[in-house]
Amino acid sequence: MLRRRPLLAAPALLAAASRTAFAQDPRRVLRSVPIGDLRAVDPIWTTTYLTRNHAYLVWDTLFALDAQNIPRPQMVGEYGVSGDGRRWTFQLREGLFWHDDTPVTAADCVASLRRWGARDGMGRALLAVTESLDAADARTIVLTLRRPVGFVLEALGKIDSNVPFMMPERLARTDPMQQIPEVIGSGPFRFERAEWVPGVKVVYTRNPRYLPRAEPPSQAAGGKVAKLDRIESLYTPDAATAANGLLTGELDLLESPAPDLLPRLARQKDVVVAANDPLGYQLFVVINHLHPPFDKPAARRALMAAIHQPDFMLASVGDRNPWRECAAVFGCFGDQPAQFDTLGWAKAADAGAALRAAGYDGRPILVMDPADNAVLHPGALVLADTLRRMGANVDLQVMDWSALVQRRASKTPPREGGWNLFVTNATITGIANPLLNTFVRHCEDAWFGWPCDPRVPALTAEWAAATDAAARTALGKQLEAVHLESVTQVPLGQYRSSIAYRANLRGLIPGPALFYWNIEKG
């Protein structure tokens, strides 16, 4: 069990970082603590939720999911599809401008979709059945498919990483394996590059030229009305310092407060603690399939056999946030069983002996530990303890989350700057089916960890092509079994997270990401 941390005095850094804000009307300025230190600014280059939350402030999308997870037009005005389901036409709304005051064009959006489709699993699936994607004129996008598919609008309205954010063509032509050189969007807020201090703060200001839709806001859809003039995202790695800043009013919102501090925050009359994402998150272990010992399926199965999900849930999210055991890589819904007993590995008598039988030779197993992340850090500690109880030699390397995001891309051996394991999370919204779930892709499309079981891409392609709901359900169950057998990752449980904010904030929109439009201060 983690020890409770004392609430520390907020450092002068918070006051200094906010000095500019207080020169303005404080009711029009919001100071928040993000889930980490923003270093990667390109939401197509990385899947990290820190960058995704940043991107929702700056960029916009052609479609977006409403509170019922139904795709609704966003940058698009009129749209239609031919009778045979192959030719889709989308017309951009009038009055859309980039932050550099140039108009948004169909050519910008075509280039953006192509770049997104080079990185995202759902984007790849859509482009794989695309015959042509063109700009018919300055505001009209035409998508012609080789055959009709049922996920066009779901792909364009994808709410979780990688989100198909629209960018100017000159940025969208950036190699998808490289980050864009500047942050120019058309969304409700502008990224203030001159005020960005990595490791300290990120500043966004209201975009006066943004044209919101007329509909009321609904999750990522509807009218994105910026009611704040300025947002300061202040990196505060010490959770107790962040909590104290919220209590004193120096901070307005904590995107990921430490679970062990939530009870004390909730007792304060000026603070609200509430679940933000209706469906919640899955916690899981990412396994590097390239290097020993986990390049062997038997070693991965031994690790899975040693996992006791309640240990991870209690350490990472505590007993205040609702959680459940779940071993399904696409998430558990309703009364769906946890599925760990499907293949019988959860009852292995001696996971350590199984690991050694799989060829483990005592070499250090490198676990990356993001110490500045209040949810993932405890998970890393429990994972390291689990390995030690298996008799493994553990190299627990402490770093911040942004450093982990950089290092996870390395395919080199652990002793040369690579890694073996780390713990991360994903929204249930973002993993609910084989096309959405970026984290369980295999072979050429694989995410970090680089698993490759040829059955996975083959079954995923079948799932994408299926038009019958029953067939998709059957294929989804087959994929679940293959992922468990191959041990793509090790699920650690499913939970709902909380945010904490000052009681004078109104208009926060629930969703799998933090949306800053519609928020106002009383």
pLDDT digit string (tens) for 318-343? Answer: 887 789 999 899 999 877 665 544 43
Q: What is the pTM of this model?
A: 0.92
420, 392 in Cβ contact below 8 A? Answer: no
Which CATH architecture does the domain made up of 60-175 adopt?
A: Alpha-Beta Complex (3.90)
Q: How far apart are CA 19 and CA 352, in angstroms?
A: 55
DSSP string, 487-503: TSEEEEEEE--EEEEET
Q: What is the pLDDT of residue 339?
A: 55
Kindly give the interhelix angle for 106-117 and 121-128, rounded to the nearest 10 degrees.
110
pLDDT(243) > 90? yes
Contacts from 347-352 at CB under 8 Å and sequence distance 24+?
A: 347/305, 348/301, 348/302, 348/305, 348/306, 351/302, 351/303, 351/305, 351/306, 351/390, 352/302, 352/306, 352/389, 352/390, 352/391, 352/392
Q: What is the pLDDT of residue 136?
A: 98
pLDDT band per the 50, 70, 90 thresholds, residue 2:
very low
Q: How far apart are CA 487 and CA 228, in angstroms?
A: 46
pLDDT in tens, 75-113: 999 999 999 999 999 999 999 999 999 999 999 999 999
* Percent of the chain scoring above 70 in pLDDT: 93
Q: 281-495 in CATH: which number?
A: 3.10.105.10
pLDDT(58) > 50? yes
Q: How far apart are CA 380 and CA 316, in angstroms?
A: 9
Q: What is the pLDDT of residue 23?
A: 58
pLDDT(429) > 60? yes
Q: How far apart are CA 1 and CA 378, in angstroms?
A: 9
Q: How far apart are CA 110 and CA 156, in angstroms?
A: 12
Segment 137-154 shows an average pLDDT of: 96
pLDDT(3) > 60? no
The per-residue pLDDT of the chain, averaged, comes to 92
Query: For residue 278, what are the CA distances in angstroms to 20, 219, 492, 512?
Result: 35, 10, 19, 8
pLDDT(187) > 70? yes
Kindly give the interhelix angle for 455-465 and 121-128, rounded to the nearest 10 degrees.
60
Q: What is the pLDDT of residue 468?
A: 86
Segment 429-457 shows an average pLDDT of: 96
In which residue ranges of the chain is CATH 3.90.76.10 found? Answer: 60-175
- Residue whose structure tokens are 């990921």: 256
In which residue ranges of the chain is CATH 3.10.105.10 found? Answer: 281-495
Give the closest residue to 161 by CA, choosing from 373, 448, 455.
448
Written in H, E and C, the secondary structure of 227-271 is: CCCEEEEECCCCHHHHHHHHHHCCCCEECCCCHHHHHHHHCCCCE
Q: What is the pLDDT of residue 24?
A: 76
pLDDT in tens, 276-315: 998 999 999 999 999 999 999 999 999 999 999 999 999 9
219: helix, strand or coil = coil
pLDDT band per the 50, 70, 90 thresholds, residue 9:
very low
Q: What is the pLDDT of residue 246?
A: 98
